Amino acid sequence: MALRRILSDKNPALHKVCKPVVDFDAKLHKLLDDMHETLLDSGGVGLAAPQVGILRRVVLVDNGEKVLELINPTIIATDGQQEGPEGCLSVPGKYGLVKRPYYAKVRAQDRNGNWFETDGEELTARCFCHELDHLEGIIYTKVMERLLTDEELAEYCE
């Protein structure tokens, strides 16, 4: 495993639509293993392949129990709404106020190509939406209501 460099939102790779994964091979497994290590090192809860410069539909989401590997994921159901602070490893030091569904269910393939479904609420649902947006070249700063001030962020963290 190796750490990969996380690109900033100034990099054009973060603004492109990613291609589906078709080969569930050793190269994909290496990418996933490297992304695991990079996510762990970053202290974040999610990471999308374009953030490490790979324009493929691959994301990792830490749901609090484990790190999910989601290949070619789509959101197949949502419910409710939440509004809260959201950040991104590619936009260091900033947080925005973003509306997301309270609940989201995702269908995806695992590293061997098998389809499965997973779901989550609150932060996990937010993370599913945020990471899947990355695959469309969308960074949260494009869908947020506004950036949060340091004072507002401190209140959310209380």
How many residues appear in the chain?
Answer: 158
Known active-site residue 136: no
Q: State yes or no: residue 127 binds Ni ion (CB under 5 A).
A: no
Q: How far is the CB of 134 from Ni ion (least distance, A)?
A: 6
Nearest Cα to 83, choosing from 101, 64, 99, 105?
A: 99
Residues binding Ni ion: what is the number (CB under 5 A)? 1
Contact flags string 76-115 toward Ni ion, x per CB under 5 A: ------------x---------------------------
Picking from 130, 131, 142, 121, the residue whose alpha carbon sits closest to that of residue 78 is 121
Q: Is 114 left (phi over 0), alpha (psi -120 to 50) or beta?
A: beta
24 or 122: CB nearest Ni ion: 122
Question: Which positions are catalytic?
Answer: 131
